Structure 1
Amino acid sequence: MDIARSLRAEARRTNERRLLVLAGDPERTRERAATALDAADIPSAETTVVGPTAFLDCEHHEQSRAEELLGRTRTAVVLDAHGELRPDAVGRTVGAVDGGGLYVLLAPPLETWPEKRDGFDASLSVPPFGVDDVSGHFRRRFVETLRAHRGIAIVDADTDAVEQEGLTDPPPSRSVPAPTPPSDAWFRSETYAQCLTDDQRDAVQAFESLRDDGTAVVVEADRGRGKSSAAGLAAGNLAVAGKDVLVTAPQYRSAAEVFARAGNLLETLDIGFARDRASEPQRLDIAAAGRVRYAPPDEAAALPDDPDVVIVDEAAALPVRRLEQFLDAPAVAFTTTVHGYEGAGRGFSVRFRDRLVEGDHAVTDVSMTTPIRYGDADPVEVWAFRALLLDARPPVNQLIEDATPETVEYRRLSAADLLADKHLLREVFGLLVLAHYRTEPSDLARLLDAPNLTVRALTHEGHVVAVALLAQEGGLSADTRATMYEGGRVRGNMLPDVLSTQLRDEAAGIPVGQRVLRIATHAAVRSRGLGSKLLSETRAEFADRVDWLGVSYGATPELVRFWADSGYQTVHLATSRNATSGEYSVVMLDPCSDDGAALAARHSAWFQDRITAVLSDSLDDCDPDVVRAVLRATDSEPSLRLSEWEWRLVAGVPGGASVLDTNPKPFRELTRQHLSAPADPAALSAREERLLVRKVLQAQPWSAVAEGLGFVSERECMRTLGGIVERLTRLYGDLWVQEELDRHL
């Protein structure tokens, strides 16, 4: 195939990549792909097929396993999209193609492709919607980008007609001189000999600061710039110097390059080390020196075995609350992808950078812009960024910094509205990226195609300042509800699923609701009430059309108060932490109809009934301020029913006549009453309420409670609790109970 030969020749001459689209009958496109790779002189050992069938004698993965190419380079990758087109698979495979290589896309005829429904579309058709309800907007836009961008050849495989040559006729790439090693380097000189660009050299040198406690390094870069390799070179040097280096990342595969480069450096330095290859995570141990070891984020956040240095790779894919835990390390580095499916680098910057700078670490920032795998004018990278909106971002601050709730317009944005205005689409998706610690290309497809999703926004002079993404849930058939209740998987419908399967309420799938998947306000105009304004407008629009509005998220005190102030009430607090965020998730509802009110009322009551038991068990380490917030956000009036004996027990504690350990139950009921529906919200200070949570509800030892809350002694802590019980007894006890209290005092 002459076009493939020409594309490969141009790609090699410029150290860029080229994209070859073969459209038509599935078998015909696969035959032409084999011919094209043979004509381009790309051996099978350097080729990977990603798709439903292994039609070439080379490495093969399903699209669902496209992550196997992370951190690797291939001369050719063939993405077979006949069975489905997963946007995440595009994002994960296109970056694996090396400079001088080909990315080959096999697809149905482009004219009809957007109208076909495939396997990925089926994943968007959550009940009660069917696959025919899914639109083809994402693929229509995808095809438009293929036809509009440089470096992309399109061939009709059925007729062999070349619709688009894809040749750009650029000048040959110039050889880039090797970077000059720094004259004042602390790392071994062999380290800098392995750096391929000035950017990478500067990043490696920045890591040198980690030899001292109280330092932090932040490296931001797009994919293919060598940031993980730089981290690996640094980790190897620090281990040679005797440091214990703990590496973490969302998955081990994200950090595999760190270990590969560290190991290669140690071999270059001829330093003996033991490599644990038996199973992941990997570990490198240097005799009589340091080590490099991996732990997943939830384990690494506890800083096991007190590491000297922590390196967090792909940090933007982790939530801020998790990242903050690594600031307890003596020295810490964060590397992050600025644009791409791994996470949103700008989200990392906006949401975490201020907290890092305000901390105790001296921070060094490094930005890497020069590609290593391919030339810096690579047209395939430009195409991928636009097709998947990897570089989407909100409007610049100057355009919206005067926005207030009075100046904004509430907008109902359809997929057609977003497709008609590319700037609006970029601003909306850019804000949604910031709202979540992990946003992937598939989220763009869901935004444009999923029949259950709705987008609402506030705009200031035409620019997006706040955006909410909502999903319709509920309204399920009896058969679907039965399947869910019995543990069967039903796509979407997260809140009915939790309420049905975990809380055993099969009828929870009957009412129809809108769940707020994400909500974001532009960083330049936060704390002005815009998020609350957006929720208020959303409620006004949907109140007559749904039974409830709902949300589920990793609970923090600030977020719980925000949602409670917007009218949402607690109905569930998860009993296990999210492995990535490290938070306990809370479910909150804002009822809009009688059916919604009935749903919320019974789950609020059930929550009140069970919360004291789980707080002393699976939730005994939950942040007391989270506990205070979720209890305060309940709408159910707890009924304080203590027996005469229980009241006598409570009334005897302040004067020392009885002790809490005799029967904690009445004290827990009294605490729950006050935190949920206080007779006098000002009766106790925040610290006193935390004491109630830690000791009474979570049953922590006196020593841990006293230390955690800053009491000078356990005795002072006990006296304080006695005073609290006295005040609560006077607030909630009948006259005879107060007389009993006075008797002992």
Structure 2
Amino acid sequence: MDVTALAADLRAVARRRNHRRMLVLAGAREAGLDAAFDAIEGAEIPDAATTIVTGREGFRFDRVAPEHAAELLGTTQSAVICDAHESFSPNVIGRLVGSVDGGGLFVLLTPPLDAWPDRPGSFEESLAVPPFGLDDVGGRFRERLVATLRTHPGVTIVDVDDGTVARRGDGETAMGEAPARSSPTVPTEGRRVFPRAAYEACLTADQSRALRALEALAGAERSDRSDGDGPAPRAVVVEADRGRGKSSAAGLAAGSLAAAGRDVLVTAPERRNAADVFARAETVLADLGALEESVAESGRDGHNEGPLSATGGGRVRFATPTAAVDRPGDPDCVIVDEAAALPVRLLSSFLDADAVAFVTTVHGYEGAGRGFSVRFRDDLTASPHAVTDVSMHEPIRYAAGDPLETWAFRTLLLDATPPVATLLEGASPSTVEYRALDPSDLAADEHLLRSVFGLLVLAHYRTEPNDLARLLDAPNLRVRALEHDGHVVSVALLAREGGLDAPTRAAMYDGARVRGNMLPDVFTSQLRDEAAGRPVGYRIVRIATHHAARSRGLGSTLLDEIRAEFAETADYLGVAYGATPELLSFWDANGFDTVHLSTTRNESSGEYSALMLAPLSPAGQRLRDRHARWFRDRIPAVLTDQLSDADADVIRGALAACPPPAEPPTLSEREWRVVVGASTGPGQYTTAPDAFRRLALAALLGAPATGEGSSRPLTAREERLLVQKPLQTRPWTAVADDLGYVSTRECMRAFGASYEALVDRYGSHRDVVAAERARFKE
């Protein structure tokens, strides 16, 4: 077997078709590395156009460690060598495949394929979370990977141990020339807004159509939406699979806008995700002679890493998603790249901008897109924005029908979708069947696996290829579903946690990280409860109901079935998620109680995380009770510090979902005089703020009334007022503005009225209260 000649042949076929080819070198690692070098030489690919991803050092090619494979996202290589013998994971494949250019080679070094499923590596070791061991981890994903390598077109397999070609996977795809790429179009002068140079930089008709759609951003003018006058705000949605040039089109638009004097704010999950946007914007500004070179900051990869400034005063700059929602610097328009990799709540906040573009991957490692297209679309439709949609289909890096792209989609389920909506039209709690889905069932039934994974993708804004392997092989995970007429309509992914031995609990208490035990880890290491790892719980990692069957009680039905199933074998059910008012209400309605709010925001979602428990046994109830009590005790101090900027409705929801204290609040006679004086007389809140804080907390937690009187319920606005003023201690002016009071004085009067209701509800020392009120009524 001559690998040099074989690689030359594969490279020739790939270049003729403008497709990519995969060369699998299976066998001993050293032999595979030697063969990979021979393949690159035979294919006549320059060293500078080759990257090897491996833990080894000392290669003439650029080397990237597997854990840093994400650095290649958005880059283009003629050849990528992936060493799967060490630190290999599904994410590595997802990150690397899209980096190979048309006519290039993806070289995969593997153990012998027959033995690979039974040879766990570092990724499989990460799935062996306590109390499970490595022997408990499955090999189903690796079996799936091997099966697709042996059957998919475009994959050639060489056994480097015996020197034979085990499979030549070209078949009919080796025939013929590459399909012609479509030609971009340039709108005539007077029919376009962006400069001709921007359209001449497009590579396909799809890209020029996307650029034309993005011209809508230039037509949006700043308006005061409160009076209903002025032009409608504009939103543009650009959707495409990876490799279609959507980010480049956004960059051409950004550069064109900056050249016209506009301030363009770009955001993405990470700065590297927006590299193409800035590279193309810089190109347009340079071609137009409008780039101020002095402000460009070149990164180590040669791309600009700082803001781009145009000679006419325009600029293109980057901000992280959580910073960009506040639109720092009051930009003229916002471009959200890789939008599907951001949570829906964060995306919706960008609709405050008068001109905004959402550029997103439909299928691919960076974001699955269905959460964007299904859930965010509702918010977009309800917004006042005039929406322009454009989809891009034609690949740019390689020709259509590329076998490596379809192999990645098939192997990693990047294009997994839930069942067709029409199949679930009649789904209801009375028509569904509860089913425990074993990993072997999922591995053996491709249709079932795609349905389940497609729904799980909808449940979270960023589902990775690693999640597919966890679903198939992680011993601590369980999948439960509801089926309607044999079709999955609702699904939950659960992780077994706790049940840890004393040495493990002690190590966790001393700061050791114990994988796969999220709730026990927080309770033990952060909240200092060494006994928290003893009870066995199941954390609900994901729960999703098909969008065609939502609001029918199916999610609650699934949780009821899960609760019934695990009532005899577990101590509690738990959940941890980015807290929103809607989610807090859902979990509260399903019997889950707040026991913790994180004190830092999630970097991607911008949300504080809520931890909630639903006890199943006395041990679970004791765990819930003490952490709920500790949460009630510490939350007043936290709200004045780390959570002082938290959304009032999130705090309302978290407190309402916490088990209330058994007794009403206790105030001294003097404190009641101050509270009554501030609510109905000339007294001041600042005289005894702690008394007001305790009353507000009791009301929001639902503490029992004294039984001596009755009071009206507080309005939602009044509850927000109690959160923001006595609990978060925000300035009166900020509270009045945020809650829509016409003046600070009106806000203060509303504050007093709310405390009149709380005095009625909780007022002990009735004689004192009555006497104080009587004096102010005279």
TM tier, smaller: over 0.9
Aligned to 2:758: 728
Aligned to 1:144: 147
Asked if the contact 2:282/2:291 (under 8 Å) is kept, the reply is no
Tell me by how many angstroms 1:415 deviates.
0.7
Asked if the contact 2:644/2:728 (under 8 Å) is kept, the reply is yes
Within the candidate set 153, 156, 159, 1:156 is matched to: 159
Q: Secondary structure at the match of 2:145?
A: helix
Asked if the contact 1:539/1:549 (under 8 Å) is kept, the reply is yes
Q: Distance in 1 between matches of 2:739 and 2:272?
A: 40
- 1:494-529 per-residue CA deviation (whole Å, 9 max, x = no partner) reads 111111122111111111100001111111111100
Aligned to 2:284: 265
Q: Distance in 2 between matches of 1:28 and 1:141?
A: 24
Asked if the contact 1:18/1:166 (under 8 Å) is kept, the reply is no
Asked if the contact 2:48/2:61 (under 8 Å) is kept, the reply is yes
Asked if the contact 1:726/1:741 (under 8 Å) is kept, the reply is no
Tell me by how many angstroms 1:162 deviates.
0.8
**Equivalent pairs: percent with the same residue?**
57
Q: Secondary structure at the match of 1:95?
A: helix
- Residue 165 of structure 2 aligns with an amino acid whose one-letter code is V
Asked if the contact 2:193/2:218 (under 8 Å) is kept, the reply is no
Q: Distance in 2 between matches of 1:264 and 1:721?
A: 56
Tell me by how many angstroms 1:737 deviates.
4.0
Shifted more, 179-188 versus 671-680: the winner is 671-680
Q: Distance in 1 between matches of 2:210 and 2:718?
A: 48
Within the candidate set 584, 589, 613, 2:608 is matched to: 584
Q: Distance in 1 between matches of 2:199 and 2:610?
A: 49
1:235 aligns with 2:254: yes
Q: Secondary structure at the match of 2:680?
A: coil
Tell me by how many angstroms 1:623 deviates.
1.5
Asked if the contact 1:730/1:738 (under 8 Å) is kept, the reply is no
Aligned to 1:659: 684
- 1:579-636 per-residue CA deviation (whole Å, 9 max, x = no partner) reads 2111111110001111111111011111111111211222122221111111111114
- 1:269-317 per-residue CA deviation (whole Å, 9 max, x = no partner) reads 2333234316684211112320011111111111000000111100010
Within the candidate set 196, 204, 213, 2:203 is matched to: 196
- Residue 472 of structure 1 aligns with an amino acid whose one-letter code is R
Where structure 2 has 5 or more consecutive residues not aligned to the other structure, the ranges are 221-232
Tell me by how many angstroms 1:657 deviates.
4.3
Q: Secondary structure at the match of 1:376?
A: coil
Q: TM-score, normalised by structure 1?
A: 0.98
Aligned to 2:234: 215
Instruction: Identify if the C-alpha distance between structure 1 residues 615 and 40 changes in structure 2 by more than 3 Å, giving closer, same or farther.
Output: same
Where do 1:429-444 residues align within 5 Å? 429-444=453-468
- 1:447-469 per-residue CA deviation (whole Å, 9 max, x = no partner) reads 11111111101111111111100
Aligned to 1:518: 542
Q: Distance in 2 between matches of 1:114 and 1:12?
A: 33
Aligned to 1:173: 178
Aligned to 2:696: 671
Within the candidate set 516, 520, 531, 1:507 is matched to: 531
Asked if the contact 1:652/1:744 (under 8 Å) is kept, the reply is no
Q: Distance in 2 between matches of 1:135 and 1:74?
A: 33
Aligned to 1:740: 771
Shifted more, 532-541 versus 733-742: the winner is 733-742
- 1:649-682 per-residue CA deviation (whole Å, 9 max, x = no partner) reads 2222223242110111111111111111254795
Tell me by how many angstroms 1:543 deviates.
1.1
Shifted more, 35-44 versus 564-573: the winner is 35-44
1:714 aligns with 2:740: no
Asked if the contact 1:316/1:343 (under 8 Å) is kept, the reply is yes
Within the candidate set 453, 456, 466, 2:490 is matched to: 466
Asked if the contact 1:249/1:312 (under 8 Å) is kept, the reply is yes
Tell me by how many angstroms 1:644 deviates.
2.4
Instruction: Identify if the C-alpha distance between structure 1 residues 461 and 325 changes in structure 2 by more than 3 Å, giving closer, same or farther.
Output: same
Where do 1:489-500 residues align within 5 Å? 489-500=513-524
1:224 aligns with 2:243: yes
Aligned to 2:230: none
Asked if the contact 1:628/1:689 (under 8 Å) is kept, the reply is yes
Q: Secondary structure at the match of 1:514?
A: strand
- Residue 191 of structure 1 aligns with an amino acid whose one-letter code is A
Within the candidate set 10, 13, 28, 2:13 is matched to: 10
- Residue 697 of structure 2 aligns with an amino acid whose one-letter code is R
Q: Distance in 2 between matches of 1:207 and 1:717?
A: 43
Q: Distance in 2 between matches of 1:686 and 1:529?
A: 25
- Residue 448 of structure 1 aligns with an amino acid whose one-letter code is L
Instruction: Give the number of aligned pairs.
Output: 745
Instruction: Identify if the C-alpha distance between structure 1 residues 542 and 71 changes in structure 2 by more than 3 Å, giving closer, same or farther.
Output: same
Aligned to 1:573: 597
Q: Distance in 2 between matches of 1:731 and 1:741?
A: 16
Q: Distance in 2 between matches of 1:177 and 1:494?
A: 50
Asked if the contact 2:677/2:683 (under 8 Å) is kept, the reply is yes
Q: CA RMSD in A?
A: 1.5
Where do 1:42-53 residues align within 5 Å? 42-53=45-56
- Residue 262 of structure 2 aligns with an amino acid whose one-letter code is K
Asked if the contact 2:238/2:360 (under 8 Å) is kept, the reply is yes
Aligned to 2:43: 40
Q: Distance in 2 between matches of 1:744 and 1:603?
A: 43
Q: Secondary structure at the match of 2:659?
A: coil
Q: Distance in 1 between matches of 2:497 and 2:68?
A: 29
Asked if the contact 1:548/1:591 (under 8 Å) is kept, the reply is yes
Q: Secondary structure at the match of 1:654?
A: helix
Tell me by how many angstroms 1:55 deviates.
5.8
Aligned to 1:58: 61
Asked if the contact 2:578/2:607 (under 8 Å) is kept, the reply is yes
Shifted more, 707-716 versus 663-672: the winner is 707-716
Shifted more, 680-689 versus 696-705: the winner is 680-689
Asked if the contact 2:179/2:400 (under 8 Å) is kept, the reply is no
Q: Secondary structure at the match of 2:496?
A: strand
Instruction: Identify if the C-alpha distance between structure 1 residues 720 and 289 changes in structure 2 by more than 3 Å, giving closer, same or farther.
Output: closer
- 1:320-347 per-residue CA deviation (whole Å, 9 max, x = no partner) reads 1111221122211010110111111121
Within the candidate set 562, 567, 570, 1:538 is matched to: 562
Where do 1:24-423 residues align within 5 Å? 24-54=27-57, 56-168=59-171, 169-183=174-188, 184-213=191-220, 214-274=233-293, 275-277=295-297, 281-423=305-447
Asked if the contact 2:712/2:757 (under 8 Å) is kept, the reply is no
1:686 aligns with 2:716: yes
Q: Distance in 1 between matches of 2:289 and 2:714?
A: 65
Q: Secondary structure at the match of 2:215?
A: helix
Asked if the contact 1:638/1:673 (under 8 Å) is kept, the reply is no
Shifted more, 277-286 versus 504-513: the winner is 277-286
1:650 aligns with 2:675: yes
